[in-house]
Amino acid sequence: MNLKITLTDERGQYSSIDDPGPTTTTWDATMEDCSVHAWFKVFESVLAAVGHTERSIMTGACRLAFNDCRDPKAMKIIAKEYDLTNWDD
């Protein structure tokens, strides 16, 4: 499977010599036999390119993994596997 994602940032207005105008970023990858981690890595870079911070990307991943639509037993297994507990400062 080939994955091709193209994002065009059209916020540039060519208003000055320092403004590059519209820019296009393309991800083109062969995703055959890739793990779920590889897929998430691709989408992490896409999210970062459109301005999401590392923290917001991690928050989104956690909300995807841990929510009311998931099996509580599966969430517990994953939380234990990654040693996720309440962190106290």
Convert the pLDDT of each residue in 53-64 to its tens digit.
999 999 999 999
Mind listing the pLDDT tens digit for each residue in 26-46? 888 787 878 888 889 888 988
* Same domain (yes/no): 57, 88: yes
Average pLDDT (2-27) is 73
Per-position DSSP letters for the chain, written without gaps between them: -EEEEEEEE------STT---SEEEEEEEE-TT--HHHHHHHHHHHHHHTT--HHHHHHHHHHHHSSTTS-HHHHHHHHHHTT------
**Could you give the number of structural domains in the chain?**
2
Which domain does 23 fall in, by range?
1-37
Residue 29 lies in a domain: yes
Residue 74 lies in a domain: yes
- The predicted model scores a pTM of 0.67
* Same domain (yes/no): 29, 1: yes
Residue 47 lies in a domain: no
